[in-house]
Amino acid sequence: MPFSPATVLRTAFTCMFLVSPPALWAQDVELRSLDGSVTLEGNLVAYDGAYYRLETIYGPLTIASEGVRCAGPGCPDLGGFVAEARIAGEATVAEGLLPPLIEGFAQSRGMTLATPEPVVGGGLRYALSRADGSVAAVFHVLPGTSDTGMLALLNGETDMAISLREASEAERRADLAAFPDDPALIRRVRVIGLDALVPVVAPQNPVAALSLSQLAQVFSGAITNWQDLGGPDAPIALHLLQADLGLAQFFDDRILSAQGHPVPSPDITRHDSSVDLAEAVARDAYAIGITAQSAHGPARSLPLAGACGFSQTADANAVRAEDYPLTAPVLIYLAPRRLPQLVRDFLNWTETGTAERIVARAGYVNQTLTRTPVAMQGRRLANAVAAAGDEVTLPDLQRLVARLDGSERLSTTFRFADGSVDLDAQSRAAVARLAAAIEQGLFDGRRLTFVGFSDAEGPAAVNQRLSLRRAETVREAVRAAAEAADPGRVTLAIDAFGEAMPMACDDSDWGRAVNRRVEVWLDQGTP
């Protein structure tokens, strides 16, 4: 029978208020505690494999299924429950990275993945079966673009959207208008891998490196001959991805528009996939394309050069640390509703070592924490000395070298917008991963120092203070996320060096963005 609110508070049910999703059963049920002492009646709205969602006289409640028995015609079949999720977005990820991840997850749970089946309306159905042959989960995957994935998410037509770009301001506003009481869109995002945007040429092309300014001029049509880039006297053939693909939009925003060339050349051959683009460029000695590093195939990717002498290649370490300026995280945006337990388990599994190895085998860069001793970073320190401006003194550089001596740099790096202490999407994901490593005891007895750096815009003293604030911001974010860690087992320190060690030229927006960062350095022990 129904019971009072006081009785509800005394029960062992795990309850929380939530925004109700569309009704799946919408039938009256009765939930009883295992000892039969407490009964709750309500309208069953949903069951996700671990929790019931009921509309009750006390409002919407979520109740852990392990603590109750369900009675009534609306009760779900617990043994035959099938967790379902819809995923839409970037085809390169949906077709190249997602399938091996789903298969790896199935194997980790002792399940088998059936041959994907086409579904009406497009896409594929991936079914995971238990040992007895019953279906445990179904993933409906619809390849498309970042745009179509985000639109489906905002319209409530998918549970997850795969994107190779961050949500636009218009998308964030639309999400806020549709779901004002839920966490913001930028808080409902996972990073499952990393990629990078790279210029590619045929293997026999003699050009060794290009700057972003040169790329913008080439793809806007301002430069049309290889001779202007140190190559042969031959016209340049241009190749890009279709304009609605995430990497193409990334290129437009980060290179063309940022360099003052918002209109691409009309003489561009467009491709539906990164693989097709790379193969076409590799066949033409006078072609150049922009594609994903994960799919450069037979084409040769070029380093990005700067006027000040810095150059950067899209190798795994540079991409993982966001030192390469055109790093593109693989983003999964989540709908503002509770996903089935098995689907949530899949998302959590993507952060395991097994999943990271699958990401690497698929050609992407994983987010595994790596360490590089300062002794192996002579080039960085040499660049710091060579690029030091008038306001960076010799004592500043001496203090930097002394501080980092004997330490190891972790691959995790945190980036910020100009003049702000707001972390980007990849950096927010890095906070969670570093916090998890601390909770697991990977740095017990050691000292982690969050070291802030800035670009050279503005007075050096201001940049020094700003870089220290950024280091403090990251440390506090990691400390808050590592709530299960013993604070006495690892020391979290901060330091800052302002503009003393640039990673890229400061004469461009992208170079300044790379230089605004917080690095994490691991010492042998507490001071």
Q: Is 295 left (phi over 0), alpha (psi -120 to 50) or beta?
A: alpha
DSSP string, 118-152: E-TTSSEEEEEE-TTS-EEEEEEEEEE-HHHHHHH
State which amino acid sits at residue 123: G
The predicted structure's pLDDT at residue 25: 43
Residue 11 is predicted with a pLDDT of 33
Q: What is the pLDDT of residue 511?
A: 76
- How high is the pLDDT of residue 420? 66
pLDDT attached to residue 44: 82
SS3 category, 32:
strand
pLDDT of residue 307: 64
Rounded Cα gap, residues 185 and 332, in angstroms: 11
* Distances in whole angstroms, Cα of residue 19 to Cα of each of 22, 150, 182: 10, 21, 8
pLDDT score, position 379: 64
Residues 6+ apart with CB under 8 A from 133: none
Q: What is the pLDDT at residue 422?
A: 77
* Amino acid code (one letter) for 251: F
The predicted structure's pLDDT at residue 1: 34
| pLDDT tens digit at each of 527 positions of the chain | 333 333 332 333 333 333 333 334 456 888 888 888 888 888 887 777 778 888 888 888 888 887 888 888 778 777 678 899 999 999 989 999 999 999 999 999 999 999 999 998 899 999 999 999 999 999 999 999 999 999 999 999 999 999 998 899 999 999 999 989 889 998 899 999 999 999 999 999 999 999 888 999 999 999 999 999 999 999 999 999 999 888 898 899 888 988 888 899 999 999 998 889 999 999 999 999 999 998 899 999 999 887 666 778 898 888 988 888 888 899 999 999 888 889 999 999 999 999 999 999 999 999 888 888 877 766 666 666 666 666 777 787 788 878 888 889 998 899 876 666 778 777 888 898 899 899 999 999 999 999 999 888 888 889 899 999 999 999 999 999 998 888 889 999 999 998 888 877 777 777 788 888 999 999 865 44
The three-state DSSP-derived secondary structure of 242-285 is CCCCHHHHHHHHHHHHCCCCCCCCCCEEEECCHHHHHHHHHCCC
**Which amino acid makes up residue 280?**
A
Domains and CATH numbers, the chain: 5-71 (2.30.30), 83-188+335-361 (3.40.190.10), 195-320 (3.40.190.10), 369-523 (3.30.1330.60)
